[in-house]
Amino acid sequence: MTTSDRPVDFGFEKVPWAQKAERVRAVFSSVAGKYDLMNDLMSFGAHRLWKHFTLSLTGLKAGQRALDVAGGTGDLAIGLARQVGKAGQVVLSDINPDMLEAGRDRLLDAGFAGNVECLLADAERLPCADDSFDCVTIGFGLRNVTDKAAALSSMHRVLKPGGQLLVLEFSKAVAPGLKPLYDAYSFGVLPRLGEWVAQDAASYRYLAESIRMHPDQETLLAMLNEAGFGQTRYHNLTGGIVAVHRGYKI
């Protein structure tokens, strides 16, 4: 069996390896117009706090360079641009042109132009020079990547020595009694909310399924170590529903 034929998770469904990226692109093209509104509704605004916490960990200074991978509509990129200032540079990348266009428009509306670049790119094969960024972020994008190990390796490559990777992603609920409530909400409410607001129940059913198939906190931590990152650790947020993993290029 070739790699392209090897089955891979697409939510709870198994699809050929070569088809997953296109299936994911279709999901996010469908929801791009309502993506930010749905984020607010389905997280009750908590995604803003999760992103704020992630940005508080970057350690970026004015004049430095940052890359936001799978950055979608630009929430993290806007925060990164504020941190590096006009003398710095931020690259917002995404594999989906519809999401990238929405992110570019938001950055322009927020007044960021000269120090921000938008790049259509696959996280597994970032078209960026080695050792070129002080910080790389990926928010709620890693679970959609077909080859997560390749993406982590690619992000490690483009970091400068001493640079930091921050992975903000849904994870496994660890707070007592939270899992059954979270499951009921994910599979009972989210698809209905997606149908009412975005006219797309299937994409939000995929969202709930993709979260369950994503590596848990300790497994993802091990993957960062295997990709060559050092000083790795993670922070559970909202009882483990979300976690921020971080590591440095040693």
pLDDT value at position 4? Answer: 61
Tens-place pLDDT, residues 221-244: 999 999 999 999 999 999 999 999
Checking if the pLDDT of 5 tops 80, the result is no
Whole-structure pTM value? 0.93
72-124: pLDDT as tens digits: 999 999 999 999 999 999 999 999 999 999 999 999 998 887 889 999 999 99
Go through the domains of the chain in sequence order and give each one's CATH number.
3-174+206-249 (3.40.50.150)
Distance in angstroms (rounded) separating the CA atoms of residues 36 and 45? 10
Q: What is the pLDDT at residue 210?
A: 94
Per-residue pLDDT, 174 = 95
